[in-house]
Structure 1
Amino acid sequence: MPRTADAAGSAKPRQRALSGGVGLAEVAAHAGVSEATVSRVINRKYGVSVSTREAVERSMRSLGFAREVRGELVLLLVPDLVNPIFAQLCNAIESELSPHGLRTVLCPVHPGTVQERDYVASLADTGIAGVVFLSSMNTLRNTDPGAREMLESRGIPYVSVNGGFSDAAAPAFSSDDWRAAELAVLHLFDLGHRRIGMCAGPVGNTPADRRVEGFVQVMDRLGLPDPEDFVVRHHYNVEGGRYAAEELIPAGVTAIVAGSDEMALGAVRAIQRRGLSVPGDISVIGYDDSPLLDFTNPPLTTVRQPVDRLAEHTARGIVALIGDRDVPTDEEYLEPELRLRASTGPVRSRGRA
């Protein structure tokens, strides 16, 4: 900050002019605090009590001060925007944060790579208010902790979506993946299916591992033998679902639970290429509830991620952290929802596998 000399020749900070010509000293005097405290509130820094922050913000409103946008950016570290579910989550989080004067910056990354650290390093000095790990490095085991450690060293708050950091005291909000698998299997079981397979995401991916656990647990509970033998792990895309289904079909499955809608559509393609029908020969159920599923052939039954509630909880958590308020650090699980369409139906014997 530039410095000037007073009448006695000593140096003192020049008052920073706020909007409308209001200076730090005026806000500080009105709120009964120091100029340094006002500066910390303006820049959303730690070390200010809730009551003091509220007093300063009341003075700002009373004096007609509109907070500058610098320091009000929230980074969304997201795997990609090709998958519609991530685009939905980003839009929903942005809508929740906007009324609080916070703006989002989308940072597409390959989870677990240096991209996440590079985004944080390059943007930290521009005034980041917070960061959301949106199904990025927080979903993987044994990843480079550089991005998270950089945030912690700078006192920048962060939250995680769909998987938390086991060694960090930070909020996490996740769809209940165990429950999602349970909903899918119970629906198929009620339709008479007993040979149920699963196209799951890759090993080491937290949501995928949790869904596999949920699948195996409910299959065991229903008395269905050797559920682990009917789980095939592959990539979260159409090709991954197709390859996984091509392993499950010869095993005589009458239904497939997929780890994502894209995997489910890949499974449908594999089934139809063998001259079989969905759901006549094999039922298929996805996960996410991406847009346009009503228009696939057939329309896809899926387990819906609670996108709106995930966004609401995420925004509430990051806003509270930015405001120096306490937020529970235990991972919170939100209930998914079964969405019935035309890709699942009653079991019937298959004469050709």
Structure 2
Amino acid sequence: MVLNRRSGGRDLVRPSATRQIAQIAQAAAVSEATVSRIINRKYGVSPATRQAVEKALKQVGYERPLDNRLVVMLTPNLKNPIFALQAERVENELNPYGLTTIICPVYPGTPRERDYVESLVDAGVAAIVFLSSSNTLRDEDHRVVQFVESRGIPYVSINGGFPETEAPVVSTDDWRAAEPAIGHLHDLGHRRIGLLAGPTGNLPADRRVEGFLRALDRRGVDNSEEFVVRQHFNIEGGQQAATTLLAQGVTGIVASSDEMAFGAYRAAERAGLSVPKDISVVGYDDSPVLDFIGPPLTTVRQPIERIAKNVARIVTSLISNRTVATEEILIEPEPRLRGSTAPVAIGT
């Protein structure tokens, strides 16, 4: 083992692990002190030395302990119910392993993300979970993950990974997200279907756009790119994008988040239209409140429970120094039919 308690500024190592640490030091051709620094994720070790020791850890079969360790979860905010619910599910899955989760709301890609990690790392951070944080941004400076890697801290990303690194990723299959929504609306007779899309450069948003275009192309719908409007993943963004689409005469709207779908409700009302009589709306996420709005929102559900189970399995494996595949795990979303969709009105 490794870090158990701190005493006088020194990391305590269980006696039963002394022999293993000596074996690791011999295999990596380094001192036992260097092995201890790497096990406890300290500064002052070169990347080459760290890599050699990590390889030796696996060869010897050394497993880091799961007790008394912190898992830092970085997420955009907790005001959005889907982020709060996903964070709660991951925390519930990790708790039985003795892991304590610290949820840090950050604006992705900002210094605050790195500040959280730097301030907590010496408290014994076992792993980092990027929950739809800077891992979703294609063109941002990913300094936070560079710091995490420099300290040898394992990490896993939810809904998109960092393009410059190889690390485990668990995602909703956003390429498939539009398929059940488009299929449902198409079966109801809708042919002019628009997408309320998230910002360009946001990985889940870009994937949903690609899936939307493919779904319509498979059904022989032409010029579908004209009915994609990019905006922020919130009510105001949804309202602005939906206003544009309504002016183009769409009869069905697919939103990239439930909050955007709520914005579509507001845009329809202000245009003198009724949901679902005049315009059908499909959301995305399956927030807990959807049964209690009027009309209840048809949506595509993110499989947050399955994501959480996979994340917990990966985190505990990484902390224990077991090998984990880095191929992205894609979990298919599921439709939830409610009252916001109806057959296309005659004559439209």
Contact 1:17–1:24 under 8 Å retained in 2: no
| 1:134 maps onto 2:131 in alignment | yes
The one-letter code of the counterpart of 2:265 is V
| 1:53 maps onto 2:62 in alignment | yes
The structural deviation recorded for 1:118 is 1.1
CA distance in 1, matches of 2:231, 2:20: 61
The one-letter code of the counterpart of 1:251 is Q
1:44-193 aligned at under 5 Å gives the runs 46=54, 47-49=56-58, 52-53=61-62, 69=68, 72-193=69-190
Contact 1:78–1:133 under 8 Å retained in 2: yes
The structural deviation recorded for 1:24 is 3.6
The structural deviation recorded for 1:42 is 8.3
Matched-pair identity in %: 56
Contact 2:67–2:98 under 8 Å retained in 1: no
CA distance in 2, matches of 1:199, 1:32: 56
Contact 1:41–1:48 under 8 Å retained in 2: no
Contact 1:40–1:48 under 8 Å retained in 2: no
Query: The residue matched to 1:214 in structure 2 has which SS?
Result: helix
Where structure 1 has 5 or more consecutive residues not aligned to the other structure, the ranges are 1-13, 58-66
1:207-246 aligned at under 5 Å gives the runs 207-246=204-243
CA distance in 2, matches of 1:323, 1:41: 14
> Structure 2 vs 1, CA of residues 42 and 203 (structure 1 numbering), >3 Å: closer, same or farther?
closer
| 1:298 maps onto 2:295 in alignment | yes
CA distance in 1, matches of 2:338, 2:90: 27
- The corresponding residue for 2:306 is 309
1:52-96 Cα distance to aligned partner (Å, 9 max, x none): 436x97xxxxxxxxx762xx1111010000000000010000011
CA distance in 1, matches of 2:284, 2:121: 35
| 1:276 maps onto 2:261 in alignment | no
1:8-27 Cα distance to aligned partner (Å, 9 max, x none): xxxxxx9x897xxxx843x3
Runs of 4+ in 1 over 3 A off after TM superposition: 31-47, 49-54
- The corresponding residue for 2:46 is none
Contact 2:67–2:99 under 8 Å retained in 1: no
Query: The residue matched to 2:294 in structure 1 has which SS?
Result: coil
> Structure 2 vs 1, CA of residues 121 and 227 (structure 1 numbering), >3 Å: closer, same or farther?
same
> Structure 2 vs 1, CA of residues 68 and 298 (structure 1 numbering), >3 Å: closer, same or farther?
closer
CA distance in 1, matches of 2:11, 2:139: 47
TM-score with structure 1 length normalisation?
Answer: 0.84
Contact 1:184–1:285 under 8 Å retained in 2: yes
CA distance in 2, matches of 1:214, 1:311: 24
CA distance in 1, matches of 2:144, 2:124: 16
Contact 1:41–1:53 under 8 Å retained in 2: no
> Structure 2 vs 1, CA of residues 204 and 52 (structure 1 numbering), >3 Å: closer, same or farther?
closer
The structural deviation recorded for 1:28 is 4.5
Query: The residue matched to 2:148 in structure 1 has which SS?
Result: helix
Contact 1:174–1:331 under 8 Å retained in 2: yes
CA distance in 2, matches of 1:261, 1:213: 19
CA distance in 1, matches of 2:294, 2:332: 27
1:226-253 Cα distance to aligned partner (Å, 9 max, x none): 0000011001000111111100111111
CA distance in 2, matches of 1:158, 1:312: 15
> Structure 2 vs 1, CA of residues 186 and 279 (structure 1 numbering), >3 Å: closer, same or farther?
same
Query: The residue matched to 2:62 in structure 1 has which SS?
Result: helix
Contact 1:24–1:39 under 8 Å retained in 2: no
CA distance in 2, matches of 1:86, 1:344: 25
Contact 2:20–2:60 under 8 Å retained in 1: no
CA distance in 2, matches of 1:77, 1:274: 39
CA distance in 2, matches of 1:276, 1:348: 12
RMSD, aligned CA: 2.5
1:144-175 Cα distance to aligned partner (Å, 9 max, x none): 22110111111000010000112211000100
> Structure 2 vs 1, CA of residues 226 and 88 (structure 1 numbering), >3 Å: closer, same or farther?
same
Mean Cα deviation higher: 211-220 or 38-47? 38-47
Query: The residue matched to 1:347 in structure 2 has which SS?
Result: coil
- The corresponding residue for 1:264 is 261
